[in-house]
Structure 1
Amino acid sequence: MKRSFFAMLVLLLATATMRAQSVTDMRAVNATGRGAVQPFLFSVNTLTGSNAYWAINASTNYAERTSGQFGYDGAAQQIAIKGYLGNRFTFYANANLGFARNGGLNSAQQAEVIHDFVGGRQAYGARFGLGLGANRDFSSVGAVFSRFTASYEAPRWRLGGNLRVEKAFSGSRDGIDLVTSFGFQHRLVGPVFAGFEAMGQDLEGFWEADEAEGGAKLLIGPSLNITPANSRFSFSASGGAVFYATHSTVPGSGAIRDVGNTATQNGYTIRAMVSFNL
């Protein structure tokens, strides 16, 4: 009888502890009903009806021997605005200012709208979206692109990825550019999530010997996101080694993807971002 009573007491205590931990997890991530604005730096995530708000992101990047989506070859500053338009639509736009190591100064702009056609009504669960956008890069070449987004969020972990298909309006560029990215983060303690990000750029270099940006390039590195409860601020950081998976017969386009860079050198990029919820 005593053993049965003791076993029942242990079971009740364990159940209560698990429920309390679950509530703590939810509060730590979303005490004000808001999740991470931009947990990954190389993948764009969508916002949902349960975190319908606008935010301003300020980020800085330093890179060497990189190109394109990996970062400006030198130092770059970016200001972005991101918001929920309603009916599962997310708006994202940014402006970049690049400081080349040789003293040059360039700018780039981009804007897009993404719609979740699967999920997107709640913060947790799976979401799949499709977006359309346009940009002008550091070499003043314009382009249009589509972005496919996929993500899954839970109280203790999250993952997300993008597939981007871009068409640049320049005869010296590729007919189509392919960029893909993937990230995973797990809660370490409280509002601190850590994991990794991986990215592939100019993937058409795997089958095109004359790929215009010097070949396919890959990145993998650590990822960190901190979104404190009851705070309008959040912080993200990522970066890692950038290396060429293939080498094209073309040395480079001479545009944003080849600023003081050769197609035979590997490099690295480091990026950090602060977000403020409006």
Structure 2
Amino acid sequence: MKKLLITLTLATVAIWAKAQVPVIQKPGLTGTTGTMVQPFLFSVNTLTAETPFWNLQYSGSYGERTAYPFGYDGVDQQLSVKGYLGNRFTLFSSAALGFDHAGHVASAQQAEVIRDFIGGKKAFGARFGLGMGVSHDFSNTTAIFSRVTGSFEVAKWRVGGNLRFEKAFSTRRDDIDLITSFGFHHRIAGSFFAGVEAIGQDLEGFWEQDEAEGGAKLLVGPSINMAPANSRFAFSICGGPVFYATHSTVMPSQAIRDIPLQNGFTLRGMVSFNLHQ
């Protein structure tokens, strides 16, 4: 047992030490010289030929009276993989476990491929992409979706956002669900960025009184991101109130996103590990 404990301890120290070894910064890599692999928690960005590395991401959230895509009504644990496939293609996939307040456990998975059609050859500047994917949510509902991505990055600030159009294979869901997200970060010092993120769900509730999911929901909250230049780790955190901007005239469906028509909150954090040498 002692030998096993010693071996595990040495292995942990070795992995941590390797992660802290200074990495020669190339234009576009993390740190003070370029883009982050995943700076925002509620918007997915694309990678470029100047950031051709793979990344593991572990994230967790705690929520009260909330649901996908803001988090989970309880505790949510998620493991993601993101990488550059070449020719301006980005792969993003994830698997998650949710533990609700009643003690039940559910799982969710999704995978998608996004390609930049405007920009995408350099880390800085404007990029616009289009992707397709498939998901299986906590309510055991399968869906296909398309994501439009947009971002603009310079050395001192960055902005990004998504439009996600989702078709769920359930008679109790809308024909097409629309999820919109937006984020802005400004460099505070070194590789430390701070700003704001916002996400809107079922925004068709602004013009459809019989929106099937209960109405348009919004989250707006502070967001911070730090990617030390001499480490393979990066850290992000974001959270805020989740509230209904409109209320539907029909009862909500039973999809995982549906919660009582009350305001709630969510807090989400993420740790990323860069696999690129």
Q: Which 4+ residue blocks in structure 1 deviate beyond 4 angstroms?
A: 26-34
User: What is the rounded CA distance, in whole Å, between the counterparts of 1:275 and 1:150 in structure 2?
Assistant: 21
Distance 1:31 1:174 in 2: 42
| Distance change in 2, residues 1:193/1:28 (3 Å) | farther
SS at match of 2:209: coil
Q: Distance in 2 between matches of 1:255 and 1:243?
A: 18
Contact 1:74-1:100 within 8 A present in 2 as well? yes
| Separation of aligned partners in 1, 2:72 and 2:31 | 36
Residue 32 of structure 1 deviates from its aligned partner by 9.4
Q: 1:182-221: per-residue Cα shift (whole Å, max 9, x none)?
A: 1100000011000000111111111222222111001100
- 2:252 is matched with 252
Instruction: Please state which structure has a larger fraction of its residues in helix.
Output: 1
- How many residues are aligned here? 250
Superposed CA deviations along residues 121-176 of structure 1, whole A, max 9, x for unmatched, are: 11100000000000000011100000000000111100000001000001111001
* Residue in 1 that maps onto 2:36: 36
Choose 89-98 or 201-210, whichever is displaced more: 201-210
Deviation at 1:66, TM superposition (A): 1.2
Aligned partner of 1:213 in structure 2 is 213
Indicate conservation of the 8 Å contact 2:28/2:34, yes or no. no
Q: Which runs of 5+ in 1 are unaligned?
A: 1-25
Q: Which amino acid aligns with 2:170?
A: S
State how far apart, in whole Å, the 1-side matches of 2:108 and 2:136 are: 5
- Structure 1 pair 240/226, CA: closer, same or farther in 2 (3 Å)? same
1:201/1:216 contact within 8 Å kept: yes
Q: Deviations over 1:216-242 (max 9, x none)?
A: 001100000001102111001101111
Mapped partners of 2:77, 2:35: distance in 1? 24
Distance 1:55 1:274, change over 3 A: same
Q: Kindly report the root-mean-square deviation, in angstroms, between the aligned alpha carbons of the 2 structures.
A: 1.7
Give the match for residue 186 of structure 2: 186
In structure 1, the residue matched to 2:15 is none
Q: 1:112 to 1:82 in 2, by over 3 A?
A: same
SS in structure 1 of the partner of residue 69 of structure 2 = helix
CA distance in 1 between partners of 2:80 and 2:255 (Å) = 22
8 Å CA contact 1:35, 1:227 repeated in 2: no
Identity of aligned residues (%): 64
Task: Check conservation: 1:47, 1:120, Cα contact below 8 A.
Answer: yes
Which of 260, 265, 269 is the matching residue for 1:268?
Answer: 265
| TM-score, normalization by structure 2 | 0.87
The offset of 1:118, in angstroms, is 0.5
Q: Which residue in the other structure is 1:145 paired with?
A: 145
SS class of match (1:276): strand
Contact 2:160 2:184 in 1 (8 A): yes
Whether the aligned pair in 2 keeps the contact of 1:128 and 1:148 (CA below 8 Å) is yes
Aligned equivalents of 1:187 and 1:62: distance in 2?
27
Change (3 A) 1:152 1:102: same
- Check if 1:277 corresponds to 2:277: no
The separation in 2 between residues aligned to 1:134 and 1:217, in whole angstroms, is: 23
Matched position secondary structure for 1:49? coil
- The offset of 1:248, in angstroms, is 1.0
Moved more, 244-253 or 73-82: 244-253
Q: Offset at 1:28?
A: 11
Quick check: 1:159 aligned with 2:159?
yes
**1:29 Cα offset (Å):** 7.1
- Give the whole-Å Cα distance in 2 for the aligned partners of 1:29 and 1:223: 21
